[in-house]
Structure 1
Amino acid sequence: MDSEASPPAPDTLLARTGRAMIAASENEGCFPILLRWLRRLTLWSVILYIVSLIVVTQALSWGGERNVTTAFLIFLPPSIWWLPAPPLAFAALLLHRRALLFLLGVMLWFGYGFLDWRPGQDAFTGETALKVMTYNRGQHMNQSLKPFKEATLPDIIVLQEAYGRAAGYAADPDYADLPHTRNLGEHTLLSRYPVLEEKMLPALPGQSPKAVRFVIDWKGQKIALYSVHLQTPREVLGHQVRGGFLYGILGLPGTPWAGKRQQMQTFWDGQIADAEIILKAVREDPLPTLLAGDFNSPHVGYVHRLITRELQDSHAEAGQGFGLSFPGSTHNPLSMGGPWLRIDYVFASRHWQVEQCVTEADRRSQHRALTTTVTLKMP
């Protein structure tokens, strides 16, 4: 009895690809085929990485604190997003030079446009220059601010988490060049020029004020200087790091996780609302205005975008390097033991020309100070 004939093998895409590779290898050998496939794999890997990078940066910038997940991601070391680039660049160097050029161009944009690396500006001095330093002295680890003060010679210093410190600075001979001192809440101001007014800004119900407005007589010109300290997200991030940040994606309305998402979102909504209170005061302020302090909002997020719609970020205008200010000393290999966030700022209204912004290079304090030099534009 004859055996039944075997059914023909299905003509699948994999089968057709295999037959094509066998036929090609018989004509030109396996190595050129393998090389072509590796080149294509490298090209598409680079394209996939670039598209992913663009999607992530836009999500962080436009979402930021408006979503639990992106709020968490903006506090991660930005070097995380760089990690795929070196192996891809090496593969592209060997296999696909055009992909390498494309990758390098996008990485330059990522460093300069998104992470705000700046080449630095020459020091600007003269009668028209005003230098403002900001520093959150909380957890200063007994590290002195004096070396950075002596290096940058500010006209005004605003300090956060500096309750009742004005008298001590007034009695310190190293700060004798800043004789006009004020305390209001946690904010301390030291000024070369007379301080005419100080006033707490309004706060959200049940919350403490997040900013103080000082009016200073700068050589006959009144200017407004706001010392700002938005609420620390340390506790919220501590909860989110254990997986809670995923509720920003999973907590859709109608799901069991929607309540969890809303609960975690409450803090970030408060950060945005506090920033809007400060911006409202700035819009109504008739004086040339500067905002300085610890905003607890990374520059890649939504709160920073909200502020820079109306004010100039002094580091973005005239800074040097990445301007990272927090945390001052770490054991994180992704930040090479240094800070990875920019959350301390001096913002300037359009009345000012930003000439220079210098962030303290190295100190074991939790925050690093920064000094901005501005000049008043001619009316």
Structure 2
Amino acid sequence: MKIIRLIFFIVHVGIAFLLAATLLNAYVPPKTFPWFNLLSLGFPVLMIAYILLTLFWIISWKKRAFVFLLFGLLFFKPVIRWINYTPQKNETPDLKIISLNAKGGFYGKENIESYIDSQHADIVMLQEYGAKNTYHFKGMKEGPQSYVITIFTKHKIVEHKQLIDSDYNYNNAYVSHTDIEIRGKIYRFINVYLQPFKFQKSMVKLNGDSEEDEQKVKDVVKRLIPTFKMHQEQIGAIRKSIDESPYPVLLAGDFNSVPNSYEYYHLAEGLQDAFVEAGRGSGTSFHDYKFPIRIDYIFSSKSIQPISYKVDRSVKLSDHFPIIATFKIENKSE
């Protein structure tokens, strides 16, 4: 039994170090050391293992349980970026936003239109909407399109700018900002689709053949590392739009990045994560793999109060679930 406890202790300490390394994504960019960002993908598994081992020490009545409990508090904020529970807020929202990666309308463009019409949103931000698709949402007008992202609104569009556009060879990211006037005040909406990893299920599914599985893992890592580095470049243009905006900002879309990643830390800086502030349950938004993956987000300036946040798992309109957030905004005119 002592040997088992020693093994558990060594494993527990190792997991603690790996979890701590994910916190360094706030400081170490992928171009300097991408492996911390790679660790962020495994955060849910590492955290579950850490909790189970901590429970083992508690049941065993070992003093080290208190050390691991105290150390585990470091990961409270990282955990609630994946799974959260906030009390229901009594304020009445006056802005509703939907963000959806539509997967090119593969699951049915008409299904997306019907769903969006039923939600009565003020702003709809689509990624991978499919350039050949033309969407019509009741009472909403479409902003300027790009090949992958587009925005719909019930309100007046003041200005639109493409921040990142694909060159079809190296860069496949798309980001734009749209300044929209709502009841006399202007807000900047940034629609994000960061560089995709371009995985297929067959590329990540292990089949039990050790040599083949090892090669698959190597191929996945070879694809992940360059993409992390591209994300670092793309974040610069987005941060400039946020930092130089004369208006309150709402940032949403498919970041192709998990919480606790370099991308999350640097895009969320100075903003509120609507899921952390008002979400309940799991934030997992990508459902095509049997693994908890949250890569879709809605952030807001601190002057905009998140009232509710929902990952709508009642519908399957693409390989992403729609994310819906409501906010309380100031109504006074400038």
TM range (shorter): 0.7 to 0.9
- 1:311 pairs, out of 263, 271, 280, with 271
- Tell me the CA shift for residue 227 of structure 1: 1.0
One-letter amino acid matched to 2:180: I
- Which residue number in structure 1 is paired with residue 161 of structure 2? 199
1:165-191 alpha-carbon deviations (Å, 9 max, x no partner) = 78431xxxxx32x32223411222222
Task: Please state if 1:283 is matched with 2:248.
Answer: no
One-letter amino acid matched to 2:218: G
CA distance in structure 1 between the partners assigned to 2:178 and 2:245 by the alignment: 12
- Tell me the CA shift for residue 370 of structure 1: 0.8
- Tell me the CA shift for residue 361 of structure 1: 2.6
- Which residue number in structure 2 is paired with residue 345 of structure 1? 297
1:188-238 alpha-carbon deviations (Å, 9 max, x no partner) = 222222323322125598746621221222112222111111110235996
Task: Please state if 1:228 is matched with 2:228.
Answer: no
- Say if 2:172 and 2:195, in contact at 8 Å, map to a contact too: no
- What does residue range 43-122 of structure 1 map to in structure 2 within 5 Å? 44=9, 48=13, 51-59=16-24, 62-63=27-28, 65-66=30-31, 67-76=33-42, 78-83=44-49, 85-86=51-52, 88-89=53-54, 91-96=56-61, 98-100=63-65, 103=68, 110=75, 112-116=77-81, 117-122=83-88
Moved more, 45-54 or 233-242: 233-242
CA distance in structure 2 between the partners assigned to 1:235 and 1:151 by the alignment: 32
- Which residue number in structure 1 is paired with residue 174 of structure 2? 210
TM-score normalised by structure 1 residue count: 0.68
- Tell me the CA shift for residue 81 of structure 1: 3.9
- 1:132 pairs, out of 97, 100, 103, with 97
SS of the residue corresponding to residue 70 of structure 1 reads helix
Task: Please state if 1:360 is matched with 2:312.
Answer: yes
CA distance in structure 1 between the partners assigned to 2:250 and 2:228 by the alignment: 24
- Say if 1:42 and 1:92, in contact at 8 Å, map to a contact too: no
Q: Which has the larger radius of gyration?
A: 1
Unaligned runs of 5+ in 2: 205-214
CA distance in structure 2 between the partners assigned to 1:305 and 1:236 by the alignment: 27
One-letter amino acid matched to 1:243: K
- Tell me the CA shift for residue 102 of structure 1: 5.2
Q: Structure 1 residues 267, 109: closer, same or farther in 2, change over 3 A?
A: closer
- Say if 1:120 and 1:356, in contact at 8 Å, map to a contact too: no
TM-score normalised by structure 2 residue count: 0.76
- Which residue number in structure 2 is paired with residue 12 of structure 1? none
1:301-339 alpha-carbon deviations (Å, 9 max, x no partner) = 11111112222221122222231111x133x3xx3xxxx
Please report the RMSD computed on the Cα atoms of aligned residues, expressed in angstroms: 3.8
1:285-307 alpha-carbon deviations (Å, 9 max, x no partner) = 11121111111111111111111
Q: Structure 1 residues 152, 104: closer, same or farther in 2, change over 3 A?
A: farther
Aligned residues between the structures: 313
CA distance in structure 1 between the partners assigned to 2:153 and 2:221 by the alignment: 46
- Say if 1:163 and 1:183, in contact at 8 Å, map to a contact too: no
SS of the residue corresponding to residue 234 of structure 1 reads coil
- What does residue range 145-294 of structure 1 map to in structure 2 within 5 Å? 145=112, 149=116, 153-164=120-131, 167-169=134-136, 175-176=137-138, 178-185=139-146, 186-202=148-164, 207=171, 210-234=174-198, 242-243=217-218, 265-294=225-254
CA distance in structure 1 between the partners assigned to 2:60 and 2:280 by the alignment: 35
CA distance in structure 1 between the partners assigned to 2:64 and 2:115 by the alignment: 44
One-letter amino acid matched to 1:373: T
SS of the residue corresponding to residue 368 of structure 1 reads coil
CA distance in structure 2 between the partners assigned to 1:356 and 1:94 by the alignment: 38
CA distance in structure 1 between the partners assigned to 2:219 and 2:28 by the alignment: 17
Unaligned runs of 5+ in 1: 1-33, 170-174, 248-262
Q: Structure 1 residues 215, 355: closer, same or farther in 2, change over 3 A?
A: same
CA distance in structure 1 between the partners assigned to 2:10 and 2:225 by the alignment: 35
